[in-house]
Amino acid sequence: MAVNKVNEDLLRERARYTFNIEELTNFIDGGEEGTRNRREVEDMVIHVKELHDEVPEDYLSHKERYENAVKKGCILIDLLKEHVLRHSSFDAYKPSNMYRVLSMAKEVSPVLLHMGMFVPTIFGQASAEQQEEWLHKALMLEIIGTYAQTELGHGTFLRGLETTATYDPSTEEFVLHSPTLTSYKWWPGGLGQTANHCIVVAQLYSREKCYGVHAFLVQIRDSETHMPLPGIKVGDIGPKLGFQTANNGFLGFDHFRIPRKNMLMRNAQVLKDGRYVKSKSDKLTYGTMMLVRVMIVSDAAYELSRAATIAARYSAVRRQSMPRPGQPEPQILDYVTQQHKVFIAIATSHALRLTGGWLWDAYSSLTHDLDQGNLDQLPELHALACCLKAISSRDSNSLVEQCRMSCGGHGYMSSSNFPTIYGATAATVTYEGEYTVMLLQTARYLMKAWKEALGGIVLTPTVAYMVTYNKAKPAWVNTPEAIIQGFHAVAVGKVKEAADGIEYHQNSGKDYEDAWNAASVMLVKASECYCRAIICETFWKEIQKHSRSMSRNLAVVLQQLSELYLSYWVLERSGDFFQVRTVPLTRTKFEFVSFASPKCHCQMCTGFVAHITSVVVLAVQVSIQNLTLTFCTRKRNEFDIGSC
Ligand SMILES: CC/C=C\C/C=C\C/C=C\C/C=C\C/C=C\CCCC(=O)SCCNC(=O)CCNC(=O)[C@H](O)C(C)(C)COP(=O)(O)OP(=O)(O)OC[C@H]1O[C@@H](n2cnc3c(N)ncnc32)[C@H](O)[C@@H]1OP(=O)(O)O
Ligand SMILES: Cc1cc2nc3c(=O)[nH]c(=O)nc-3n(C[C@H](O)[C@H](O)[C@H](O)COP(=O)(O)OP(=O)(O)OC[C@H]3O[C@@H](n4cnc5c(N)ncnc54)[C@H](O)[C@@H]3O)c2cc1C
């Protein structure tokens, strides 16, 4: 029987890495314990034969694919539970842990929403008594839930949701009702056939007054027969671009009654007599969305690292064309155009992973503050979660597609796994807050920050440079720190441009809403630039911080990887950089001028092209089959790729 022989090119490339593979493995896993955890789970998974498909899933019927996904989901959840119970330190909700386990099956799990939103909502929005009643059942999958917020008619505009929950004091119940077709819940994962409970987000009415959207825990299917309960209409919404086994469904209520105690009451409450007790902040109802947005940054990085691995490995083994007659066909990785496609994907997977970890730490700190009743950091974290979720998911999805294209026809095969990864990452650009809407949310925060900056008010950390910027004259040398300052200058410039745009439209007679809409393209751009500055700065600082405790060989490669990222994005946004003055920003006189003058002294402009072509690049490969983490380093002129 033919033994799978590893490709010679791959073996040769793998023999050339220049640093300790295990050291980088630990760095990526967040430490030696993270690597041990991951390998232990992978070891468990790789030996479960039921997780390996006999028939490609694309050849299965929708029903067979769903049943296959349920089977795998149950196996993986059991493995996760067993591992969590054995390792109390394994935080299933630390970015990528839970998702990474569930995504070891190729199909999106029909219980992803249970783990990813239903359980976290109980954690975050149920009272202590309610957690006592429901949390263990949910963690042990004795109840299977989803998060039913979006409706046929509204996904973004939460205040426009139509499902009602009207309190009846005579029976101490809420009556859930779908008054219109557009009020039907539409999209929740697992709702089609899997979930028997869900978190329902509905407009709360008591004593004929509406108190806005609140969350309720609702049983929708019989625990024994799994049939929909009376007054419940539920089913599958049908085929989609991807996520075919996420089991997205619809849900309608016909005057469906639930006990008062099923309103999640950690923040706001309705008393037995119908009196409403207000939450410290209405925004706390939105808590689960913030958590998922924070997780998406790390999960987008993880999905991108998978795509980059496939593309890097393929680029090492694929030989094509003959630039020199009579010579062997070169590996396509030797083409600089191929490097330009693949290496930024590798760099971005690291940038987003480190930024996702930084955001997770900020979120964890906020959660602690919220428990102490301190909401001060909530607005900034909301703004950060919005723009980082938007940009990370969009970058990840775009670069997954770029990786696919870099593999030619074979990238178009289902067996390449690119279609599955593309489908998963494409969804993240829309769900949990649509791309544009999220950037506009951040813009809302930036406009307030700009007004405070003009008033000299000290701002929160990620926008502090708006006030201090004009003291720190840009160095304008070709260094990473100067590039980061340049991104700050661009962000401030775009924020000011958008604020001036709103003011211009107001002065021309528009009210604020119309002026906001007229300037909204500039507002989105300002958020993008603010977010890009955060990713660049965080990536660079995280590498500097960790480099001090790692071997020099690894530190060098990671530092150059972060420099590649900075250089790439300056070149991508060179127009914005050309506009930025080399003199200190003055709030009243900030203006964009062109660097059209031939004698531009900015060393950045001339330095970049040289820089980006002389970079050593790191390709990271996580291969579950081999249970190893191997890496590739490549020097431009050596055209050698380390283990990959
Ligand atoms: C590649 C990886 C693949 C998979 C892994 C993915 C994830 C990780 C793992 C598990 C996750 C689980 C499952 C994944 C699969 C599918 C999940 C999908 C689930 C969903 O999509 S659930 C539905 C999500 N829906 C939304 O996100 C709705 C978006 N809309 C909104 O958030 C709001 O409507 C709005 C913010 C856009 C606008 O709100 P509004 O118009 O009502 O109000 P304002 O704009 O006036 O804002 C009011 C005020 O409140 C502040 N605010 C708003 N939102 C928040 C918040 N979340 N937190 C804090 N503060 C908030 C806002 O800033 C305003 O404040 P201000 O002071 O008045 O300015
Ligand atoms: C794969 C997948 C899984 C999902 N899972 C769930 C789930 O489990 N639970 C759940 O509740 N939901 C889920 N959703 C729904 C998802 O949260 C919504 O689709 C998302 O919030 C976007 O809302 P929408 O579809 O109504 O789009 P819309 O908000 O209608 O957006 C359509 C267009 O209008 C634009 N737009 C909207 N509002 C504004 C504005 N104020 N300013 C400028 N432009 C605007 C948007 O930018 C976009 O271009 C899922 C969606 C997908 C795709």
Pair 469, 453: CB distance under 8 Å: no
CATH at 185: 2.40.110.10
Q: For 233-254, what is the mean pLDDT? A: 96
Q: What is the CA radius of gyration of the chain?
A: 26
* Pick from 102-111, 304-313, 519-528: least confident: 102-111
The domain boundary, picked from 233, 260, 280, lies at 280
Q: For 635-644, what is the mean pLDDT? A: 34
Q: How far apart are CA 374 and CA 248, in angstroms?
A: 36
Tell me the CA distances in angstroms from 399 to 415, 537, 636, one per residue in order: 19, 21, 22
At 469 the pLDDT is 62
Tell me which residue has its CA closest to atom 16 in ligand 2. 431
Ligand 1 centre distance from Cα of residue 432 (Å): 6
pLDDT band at residue 455 under the 50/70/90 scheme = confident
Output the ligand 2 site: residues, CB below 6 A: 113, 146-150, 154-156, 187-189, 243, 248, 427, 430-432, 434, 436-437, 440
Q: How far apart are CA 583 and CA 581, in angstroms?
A: 5
Ligand 2 centre distance from Cα of residue 258 (Å): 28
Mutation pick for ligand 1 pocket among 441, 442, 516, 520 (CB with most ligand atoms within 8 Å) = 441
Pair 470, 584: CB distance under 8 Å: yes
Q: Report the amino acid identity of residue 447.
A: M
Tell me which residue has its CA closest to atom 43 in ligand 2. 437
User: Strand 249-253 and strand 185-186: pairing?
Assistant: antiparallel
Query: Is there a domain that residue 18 lies in?
Result: no
pLDDT at 468 > cutoff 90? no
pLDDT at 637 > cutoff 70? no
Q: For 436-459, what is the mean pLDDT? A: 92
Q: For 604-633, what is the mean pLDDT? A: 36
Query: Is there a domain that residue 600 lies in?
Result: yes
Query: Is there a domain that residue 507 lies in?
Result: yes
Query: Is there a domain that residue 423 lies in?
Result: no
Ligand 1 centre distance from Cα of residue 160 (Å): 14
Pair 607, 478: CB distance under 8 Å: yes
Residue 170, exposed/middle/buried by CB under 10 A (0-12, 13-18, 19+)?
exposed
Query: Is there a domain that residue 161 lies in?
Result: yes
What domain range includes position 582? 443-634
Mutation pick for ligand 1 pocket among 286, 305, 369, 418 (CB with most ligand atoms within 8 Å) = 286
At 86 the pLDDT is 65
User: Which residues does residue 202 pair with via DSSP β-bridges, in sequence order?
Assistant: 214
Give me the chain's average pLDDT, please.
Answer: 87
Q: For 354-375, what is the mean pLDDT? A: 91
At 100 the pLDDT is 73
Q: How far apart are CA 187 and CA 240, in angstroms?
A: 11
The residue with tokens 């994962």 is 189
Between CA 166 and CA 175, with CA 172 as vertex, the angle to 5 degrees is 30
Q: For 86-115, what is the mean pLDDT? A: 75
Enter the tokens of residue 140. 């042990």
Q: How far apart are CA 141 and CA 125, in angstroms?
A: 19
Please tell me if the CB atom of residue 291 comes closer than 6 angstroms to any atom of ligand 1.
no
pLDDT tens-place string over residues 186-208: 999 999 999 999 999 999 999 99
**Number of domains present in the structure of the chain:** 2
pLDDT tens-place string over residues 380-428: 999 999 999 999 999 999 999 999 999 999 999 999 999 999 999 999 9
At 283 the pLDDT is 79
Ligand 2 centre distance from Cα of residue 386 (Å): 13
Q: How far apart are CA 561 and CA 620, in angstroms?
A: 11
Ligand 1 centre distance from Cα of residue 232 (Å): 26
DSSP 333: G
The domain boundary, picked from 228, 259, 280, lies at 280
* Pick from 6-10, 103-107, 169-173, 555-559: least confident: 103-107
Enter the tokens of residue 618. 């790191």
The domain boundary, picked from 213, 248, 280, lies at 280
Is this complex scored with an ipTM above 0.85? Answer: yes
Query: Is there a domain that residue 452 lies in?
Result: yes
Q: For 521-527, what is the mean pLDDT? A: 98
Q: Annotated catalytic sites, by residue?
A: 432
pLDDT tens-place string over residues 217-235: 999 999 999 999 999 999 9
Mutation pick for ligand 2 pocket among 109, 146, 150, 234 (CB with most ligand atoms within 8 Å) = 150
Q: How far apart are CA 227 and CA 244, in angstroms?
A: 22
Query: Is there a domain that residue 599 lies in?
Result: yes
Tell me which residue has its CA closest to atom 9 in ligand 2. 188
Question: DSSP states of 203-214 as a string?
Answer: EEEETTEEEEEE
Enter the tokens of residue 258. 């639930």
Q: How far apart are CA 41 and CA 47, in angstroms?
A: 10
